[in-house]
A and B are shown apart, each in its own frame.
Chain A
Amino acid sequence: MAKELGLGLEITELRLGIPGDNYSEISVCGSKKKRVTSDMMTLSSLNTEDENGVVSSVDIAADGVEDDSVKSQAVGWPPVCSYRRKKNNEEASKAIGYVKVSMDGVPYLRKVDLGSNHSYNNLATVLENLFGCLGLGVALKEGEKCEYVIIYEDKDRDWMLVGDVPWLMFKDSCKRLRIAKRSDATSFGLQRD
């Protein structure tokens, strides 16, 4: 997969640290398990956990110190089975106001905390950081000019364009977000008031 992205360099890079840690990362996203290489993860900020709370593998090279970094970063540790992890994550997310964000063409999901964002601008910046995709702010504001549109699923399970309603109203009704390709979205049956 790294080669497909044209990023085969990782293999040749010399690093110190426990063997295998550079490559042993396994990410599970959505209901279809797919492998994501560490290359893809570095494209976006690792501030939020992925779907099932599996975070990236030990990267001892970065810290140089074994003990501290191991705990929070080892794959599959603590040994809680993935089904349980998923359920725990759902609980935590519901409590706090996290919604899932998917982006067309990207095989992993992210979560964003609507509670800690205060405006559409804020949200746009966070999304840009999450997916390493500049111009989402433009998508929000200027509509036609951007390749992508940002849409959300509301309480009634309708898909709506983000930005039409006041922020607080949006925050309360948004169940999940999707960054869709403009060409796909138009056939999606967007509801506009």
Chain B
Amino acid sequence: MNLRLPSKVLEHIISFIDSNEDRNSVSLVCKSWFETERKTRKRVFVGNCYAITPAAVARRFPEMRSLTLKGKPHFADYNLVPDGWGGYAWPWIEAMAKKSPSLEEIRLKRMVVTDECLELIAASFKDFKVLVLTSCEGFSTDGIAAIAATCRNLRVLELRECIVEDLGGDWLSYFPETSTSLVSLDFSCLDSEVKLSDLERLVSRSPDLKSLKLNPAVTVDGLESLLRRAPQLTELGTGSFSAELKPEAFSKLSEAFTNCKQLKCLSGLWDVLPEYLPALYSVCPGLTSLNLSYATVRMPDLVELLRRCSKLQKLWVMDLIEDKGLETVASCCKELRELRVFPSVPDLDATNVALTEQGLVFVSQGCPKLESVLYFCVQFTNAALITIARNRPNIKCFRLCVIEPFAPDYKTNEPLDKGFKAIAERCKYLQRLSVSGLLTDKAFKYIAKHAKKVRMLSVAFAGDSDLMLHHLLSGCESLKKLEIRDCPFGDTALLENASKLETMRSLWLSSCFVSFGACKLLSQKMPRLNVEVIDEHPPETRPESSPVERIYIYRTVAGPRLDMPEFVWTIHKNPEIGVSHLAIK
């Protein structure tokens, strides 16, 4: 009996599957499912731009409409990846321009994007709709102008925390004079002032605009004027508030906010003076997302704002919120799902910040839906971690940064092993974990054993020996990304668990004791991994056994990359350091 589904039926069924993970599984069933799936996938996600060639992606997914790419490793955010390492968008844009001209959406994270890239996007994709650049660099406002001018159906243009060469605010005037289809515009990371009148006119002729994130150069008056023209906004990033408070400006602003009845997300708020906060009260009850992480507002000014936010699901703040403020959040924000608390002074020394582990304990007690945490704190205790784990077994993302490296439980002076053990054991859905504070190898044994769903793990200044890495690489069944810095392990664990690395997207190691020799060996053993040694100093100048600065290892079907700078060493690019009889394809 023929059990095969007609391909049209199969296609129809598969078209309902959105999740790429599910689609990946579908494509493994058999050849015909693979073929049907690939022909129907519209949204393609490539987590490491060097894992596969652009041509291969274009070939496999002929109906691709949306491409998301990530370039540099995560630790590039903390300046651990030298400039010039790579992550260039150009080869991808160039390939897609030729082979996937129907592409409508491009989302890039941590990539180097040039003006030429942006101009090529504008010129090549006739129905281009969405451009989102997160933590990207290498382009100027000229490139943005090209997008604005040429992409007539542009809906989304978002520059999130990019480093842009800002040549002035003219780029905004390049949007077409006729009405636009803009739904979302985010230029919060640009420095230059844009002409308010240009912005006002753009907003007025963009009836679909729902999300607008301004840069700090936009003043209170500007903000008020824009809100009047776009009361339909659901997401707003304000400009600066740093002017002195004038009563007239304040009441106008309050009124403008009152008319924004659909506002759900609020961010920006740079330099906001406490005196301005009451202007926001009218939108608080409807807010689901509030980003105060650049607002230097202190307690108790924050309380009045927070206690009105009963529907809040996402809150980003600075540690100026203190334990007291978090207590308010715990009692008023019962819908909270995500909390991030950032340090107000990055080189925190101390003891003068009234934010302790207790703040997070409050929130874990009071907010039953809490599932994502990022918390910077000077010191912590096992007891607090255990309490948090008991309160919130539904946590999916737990990132604790104890700012003091090697800091033990400050009450008992023990390592934080027990605390993180509790987190790993109780939070069965944990997908992302960052650990910190004083940790022995044991902590990693617990994590390896219990954190079965953890996909991404970040470790710094922890562990005693190779055992820690051995635990992680031989356990942690779902591990996809591991990034480690400043830990005292050497070659053994890495080499013994080499095969694990092919099941992962990537491994980052910096300031550990892994040697050049080990990197070469690993590279020989595992031809489907790219083993990149990122080190300023050429290998000939030191012995094989000497440790290297940074290693980035990732699986790839694209082979060695062709765009490595001089400070990246691999046995392919630098055969003089490799074994001479190694066959290079």
**Which A residues are closer than 8 A to B by beta carbons?**
11, 18-21, 23-24, 26, 28, 31-35, 52-55, 58, 67, 70-72, 74-85, 87-88, 91-92
Contacts and interface: CB of A to CB of B under 8 A. Distances in A.
Given A20-B511, A82-B77, 19 more contacts: A11-B541, A19-B547, A23-B537, A34-B83, A35-B82, A53-B347, A67-B405, A70-B405, A74-B405, A76-B79, A77-B460, A78-B346, A79-B458, A79-B460, A80-B78, A82-B79, A85-B346, A91-B296, A92-B345
Contacts of B82: 26, 35
Interface stretch (B160-168, B178-186, B357-365, B413-421): B160-168
Contact of B404 (A24, A28, A71): A71
B294 interface: yes
A83 B135 contact: yes
Contacts of B547: 19-20
A81 B403 contact: no
Contact of B78 (A32, A34, A72, A82): A82
Nearest to A88: B346
Given A67-B406, A83-B161, A88 B511 contact: no
Interface string B512-556: 010000000000000000000001110001000011111000000
Contacts of A74: 405, 486
Interface in B99-123: none
B405 A76 contact: no
Nearest to B165: A31
20 contacts: A19-B547, A20-B550, A23-B549, A26-B80, A28-B79, A31-B165, A53-B346, A67-B406, A74-B486, A75-B78, A76-B75, A79-B77, A80-B343, A81-B135, A81-B161, A82-B78, A84-B293, A84-B294, A88-B346, A91-B296
A77 B345 contact: no
Contacts of B548: 19-20
A44 to B, nearest CB: 19
A141 to B, nearest CB: 35
B342 A80 contact: yes
Nearest to B567: A35
Interface string B454-492: 000010110000000000000000000000011000000
Contacts of B513: 19
B344 interface: yes
Contacts of B165: 31-32
Nearest to A33: B83
A120 B515 CA distance: 52
A51 B75 CA distance: 19
A26 B510 CA distance: 14
Contacts of A11: 537, 541
A82 B110 CA distance: 12
B444 to A, nearest CB: 19
B567 to A, nearest CB: 9
Contact of B486 (A18, A28, A35, A91): A18
B401 interface: yes
Contacts of B166: 31
A18 B347 CA distance: 21
A123 to B, nearest CB: 25
A28 B82 CA distance: 10
Contacts of B485: 76
B78 A76 contact: yes
B279 interface: no
A84 B342 CA distance: 9
A17 to B, nearest CB: 11
A79 B401 contact: yes
Contacts of A24: 510-511, 549-550
A31 B78 contact: no
B299 interface: no
A78 B271 CA distance: 23
B345 A70 contact: no
A143 to B, nearest CB: 33
B257 interface: no
B379 to A, nearest CB: 12
B112 to A, nearest CB: 11
A80 B82 CA distance: 17
Most central of A54, A55, A80 by chain B CB within 10 Å: A80
Contacts of B376: 78, 80
B344 A71 contact: no
A87 B537 contact: no
Nearest to B346: A80
A11 B535 CA distance: 12
Interface string B68-107: 0000000101111011000000000000000000000000
B403 A71 contact: yes
Sorted from nearest, which 3 A-B pairs have the closest CB atoms? A76-B78, A20-B549, A19-B547
Contact of B79 (A18, A26, A91, A92): A26
A75 B80 contact: yes
A77 B511 contact: no
B137 interface: yes
B549 to A, nearest CB: 4
Given A33-B163, A70-B461, A88 B344 contact: yes
Interface in B394-428: 401, 403-406
Nearest to A86: B163
Contacts of B546: 19
B270 interface: yes
Interface string B321-358: 00000000000000000000011111111000000000
A28 B163 CA distance: 12
A173 B535 CA distance: 44
A7 B161 CA distance: 36
Contacts of A72: 347, 349
B339 to A, nearest CB: 16
A172 to B, nearest CB: 16
B189 interface: yes
A63 to B, nearest CB: 14
B137 to A, nearest CB: 7
Contacts of B77: 79, 81-82
A24 B511 CA distance: 9
Contacts of A79: 77-78, 401, 458, 460
